[in-house]
Structure 1
Amino acid sequence: MQLTTDIKQIILQSRETAIRAVDFQRVLMYWHIGKRIFEEEQQGQDRADYGAYLIKELAQQLVPEFGSAFSSRQLNWYRQFYRTFPIVNALRSQLNWTQYRMLLRLDDADKREFYIAESVKNNWSSRQLERQIYSNLYERLLLSNDKASVLAVVKFSLPEKQIFAS
C-alpha cells in the first residue's frame, strides 16, 4: 500500500534527521569545550606545562561524572578541534565527530577543505571518508589530467544509495 510506504519513508527520514541533529550538537559541545580549554590555557604562565596540567586536572574531575568521553586524550582532541576549526559557524552539520577527528589528522588545510566539501556533497559516511583519505583521492586528483575519470572511480566505488544522494 502506497500510504504505508510513504509513512515508513517519513519515519526513516525523520529518524535520520534527528540522529544528525544530535550528532551535530555533540560536535558543537566538543568545539565549545575545546574553545574554553584553549582560552584558559592562554592565561597560563608556562603554556605547555599549564596546558598538560589543566587537561589532566579537568579529566580527573569530569570522567567520574560524565565518562570516558572527557578523558585527557579526548579533551586534547577537543582543544585541537577548536584550534583547527576556530569559527563555529563554519562547522558543517552534515559531518559527525568521527569524521571531524579524521579531518583533524590532515595537516594540509586545502586537503582538509577538499574532504569536507566532498563528504558533504556526496553524503559520505565515516567509513567512506576514511577510505577516500587513505586512497589519497586528493593527491590523485591533483596529479591527474583527467579529474572526471578519477571522480568517476570514486563514485563507482560508493554504494548505489550514496551515488544517487549526491
Structure 2
Amino acid sequence: MVINKYEMNQATVLTVDHTFYENAANLIAESRKMVASTANTVICVTNFEIGRMIVQEEQKGQNRAKYGITLIKALSEYLTSQFGKGFSETNLRSFRKFYLTYKEQIENIQFENIENNDLAIQQKASAEFKLSWSHYQVLMRISDKKIRKFYEIEAFQSQWSVPQLKRQYNSSLYERLALSRNKEEVLQLANEGQVIEKPQDVLKNPFVLEFLGMEEKAVYSESDLESAIISKLQKFLLELGKGFLFEARQKRFFI
C-alpha cells in the first residue's frame, strides 16, 4: 500500500496529544499579553519622563506661568514635526499633570544600588505603572490620593477596562465599600484594594444598581432590591404600550 506525503502528515498530526496544541497556543497568548503590558509601561514611563522634563525646565524661567505656556507650545510644535500626532499641547499638559500627580508615589519607592538619580526614577516608574495610559488619564482626575490608589489597585487586580474603571468610580465604589468600615479598614482598603478573605466577602462584592434610585444605605434587604427592580421592569413594560403585558409581581406557575 502506498501512502502519500499528505496522508503521512495527517496521520502524524492525529497521534499528537491535544495538550501539545493548547500549550503552544497558551504560550503565544501569554507572550502577546507580555508585549501589550510592556508597551503600556513604556508609554507611561515616557509620558512621566516628559512631564518631569517640562516641570524641571519650567523652574528655570523667571515668570514660570508665562514661560510654561510658551515652553509647552514650542515643545508641542517640535515633537509634532518630529513624530506626528500625539504631542498636542493638551497631551503635554496631561504628561505634566501625570508627573505631578505620581511624583511623590514614585519617589517613595525604595531601590538600592542605583547611583544615577534619573535612571532610578525611570526604573521606579517602570515598576509602578501597571495600567494603560488611558487608565491613568482617568485616575489623575481623582484628587484624593487614598481613593486614587484604591481604584488603581482594583483596576489592576480586577483587570478593569477604562469604561469599567469610569463606571466604578462614577458609582462611588470606594465610598460604598467604606460605609460599614472603620478608619483602619478604610486605610487598608486604600492600600490593598478589596481583599476577599472569607466566603461572605464574595457575597458582598458590590453590584452597580444606581439606576434604581434607591436611598443610599450600607446594606439592603433582598425584598427591597427585588421590589425596586420589579418596579423598574413594570414601568418599562407598561411604557412600551400595546403588545406587552405585566401580569403580576409574583405569580406561581405549575409545571
TM-score (norm 1): 0.84
Q: Partner residue of 1:42?
A: 59
**Secondary structure of the equivalent of 2:56?**
helix
C-alpha distance in 2, partners of 1:151/1:11? 36
1:84 aligns with 2:101: yes
1:140 aligns with 2:157: no
Q: Partner residue of 2:206?
A: 153
The CA deviation string for residues 71-121 of structure 1, in whole angstroms up to 9 with x for no partner, is 100000000000011124266342110011100111111110111111222
Change (3 A) 1:82 1:39: same
Contact 1:20 1:94 in 2 (8 A): yes
**Displacement, 1:62?**
1.1
1:108-127 to 2 correspondence within 5 Å?
Answer: 108-127=144-163
Change (3 A) 1:66 1:133: same
1:97 aligns with 2:133: yes
The CA deviation string for residues 121-151 of structure 1, in whole angstroms up to 9 with x for no partner, is 2222222212211111011122245x84785
1:24 to 41, 45, 48: 41
Contact 2:45 2:129 in 1 (8 A): no
1:14 aligns with 2:66: no
Give the fraction of aligned pairs with identical amino acids, expressed as a percent. 36
Report the AA paired with residue 129 of structure 1: L
Q: Partner residue of 1:58?
A: 75
Larger CA deviation: 31-40 vs 107-116: 107-116
C-alpha distance in 1, partners of 2:22/2:68? 54
**Displacement, 1:39?**
0.2
Change (3 A) 1:78 1:141: same
Contact 1:21 1:93 in 2 (8 A): no
Q: Which has the higher contact order (CA 8 A, sep 6+)?
A: 1
TM-score (norm 2): 0.56
